[in-house]
Amino acid sequence: MNRHDTQLALRSRIVGLREAGLSTRAISRAIAYKVSKVTYIFLSGKQFEMTDPRLLEFENLTRELVESMALLAIPDIFPWIMYILPGALTGRIFHLDLQKKIRHKFLIYFNKEIEEHRATLDRDDPRDLIDGYLIMMEKKADDPDNTFSVKDLAILVLDLFLAGSETTADTLTWMFYYLATYPEVQQKMQAEINEVLPKGTLATLDNKLRMPYTEAVIHETLRKSSLAATGLQHVATRDTQLGGYFIPKGTIITGAQETVHHDPQYWDRPDEFLPERWLDLQGKFTAKKEGFLPFGVGKRSCLGEALARMELFIFSTTVFQSLIFSQPPGKKIDLRYDPKAFVTHNPKIQDVLITVRPGF
């Protein structure tokens, strides 16, 4: 399937679902399919058709796993809970058996994929991440400190698949909500898309420089939604002095991205969705850095940032090129975070009205 077919498939999927009475679970799923598909191509070189039942299974398993893990933030922050409560109880409260079962299902599939890669490996022409890892594993075979193994590779593929799929799909869903709520922003973005991408032309990354408003909308969506509200937890590997505080070795450190993203010290009118804050007086995009940490910071910041940024640009231009997102008649989009997700700021499932832009 080439990119144009992909765009049509995505578009018809969304429009078709809308005609059947659409909630955003359906939109999120349509987007999540596409994002999972991209992540999987990068990991395994494999192109799934949109109709492939495995894609649906992956999507359902990912969602189920992510939802079942929401409460794990509690023992992450208060690890002693796991020592004082009986194992059977913590297992039930935190859905540990379900998570094990889902992980196992994924690993069966990924192990099969790895075996297929091993059987067809060309050491001079690696096709994807799995091939690259297998080649390194062979090179390191005699190294006593070697940590490469097939088991580790399967878990790596699982980690990347999980880290890369829902995050990007949820960020796009936030963008749909913001632009449905602020039609004037959507119209400006669509005017820019019209100007740079004549009908029938799909965006490439080269177009980014000529699309400052779209870039501004993407950045403002990342800031305002603050999907990974606290990032991942880290640990101080040595005694550290930071900002006047002493942090002893072994301290668990949790970020506060959402707080920083709404701190008036960095942002004028932080609670408003204002893409214009990312543009200078000439309308040029300014990649403001201070106070903007949607992908974390430092050596252990998001490994998939570049891929996520590419996906956000290509998907958003593709969708808004031909579709209009609006609030359903008589209703308002709820822009509050879904409380079920606990530490990540997921968008709530709700109705959005989608219409095809005139001329498409």
The residue written with tokens 């779209």 in the block is 214
Q: Would you count residue 256 as binding ligand HEM (CB under 6 A)?
A: no
Residue closer to ligand HEM, measured from CB, 31 or 324: 31
The region of 67-75, 125-133, 134-142, 299-307 touching ligand HEM under the rule CB under 6 A is: 299-307
User: Other C-beta atoms within 10 Å of 311: how many?
Assistant: 22
- Which secondary structure element, helix H or strand E, spans residue 257, and what is its range? helix 257-261
Give the shortest CB-88-to-ligand HEM separation in angstroms.
Answer: 31
Asked if residue 347 binds ligand HEM (CB under 6 A), the reply is no
Q: Which is nearer to ligand HEM, 22 or 58 (CB)?
A: 58
Chain residue whose CB lies nearest ligand HEM: 304
**117 vs 246: CA distance, rounded Å:** 49
CA distance 283 to 269: 19
Smallest Cα–Cα separation from 350: which of 20, 16, 28?
28
* Pairing outcome for strands 252-253 and 234-235: antiparallel
Q: Which listed residue (56, 96, 98, 307) binds ligand HEM by CB under 6 A? A: 307
In the set 106, 207, 221, 231, which binds ligand HEM (CB under 6 A)?
A: 231
Q: Does 310 bind ligand HEM (CB under 6 A)?
A: no
- The answer for residues whose C-beta is within 8 angstroms of residue 226's C-beta and 6 or more apart is 257, 258, 261, 262, 294, 345
Tell me: does residue 304 bind ligand HEM (CB under 6 A): yes
Tokens 């910041």 belong to which residue? Answer: 301
Residue span 156-195 as binding mask against ligand HEM, x where in contact by CB under 6 A, dash where not: ---xx--xx--xx--x------------------------
# binding residues, ligand HEM (CB under 6 A): 23
Q: Rounded to whole angstroms, how far apart are CA atoms 27 and 171?
A: 12
Q: Please tell me what DSSP assigns to residue 202.
A: P
**Cα(24)–Cα(304) distance, rounded to whole angstroms?**
25
Site string for ligand HEM, 268-297 (x = CB under 6 A): --------------------------xxxx
32-51: contacts with ligand HEM (CB under 6 A): 39
Q: The tokens of 88 are what?
A: 């059977």
Give the Cβ contact number of residue 270 at 10 Å: 17
212 near ligand HEM, judged by CB under 6 A = no
Query: Of these, 194, 251, 259, 301, which contacts ligand HEM (CB under 6 A)?
Result: 301
The nearest distance, CB 307 to ligand HEM, in angstroms, is 5
Q: Which residues contact 54 (CB under 8 A, 6 or more apart)?
A: 48, 109
Q: Minimum distance between the CB of residue 237 and ligand HEM, rounded to whole angstroms?
A: 14
Contact 88, 77 (CB under 8 A): no
Q: Taking the alpha carbons of 282, 284, 285, 286 in that order, is the dihedral positive or negative?
A: negative
**303 near ligand HEM (CB under 6 A):** yes
Using CB under 6 A as the binding rule, whether residue 232 contacts ligand HEM is answered as yes
Which positions touch ligand HEM (CB under 6 A)? 39, 159-160, 163-164, 167-168, 171, 227-228, 231-232, 294-297, 300-304, 307-308
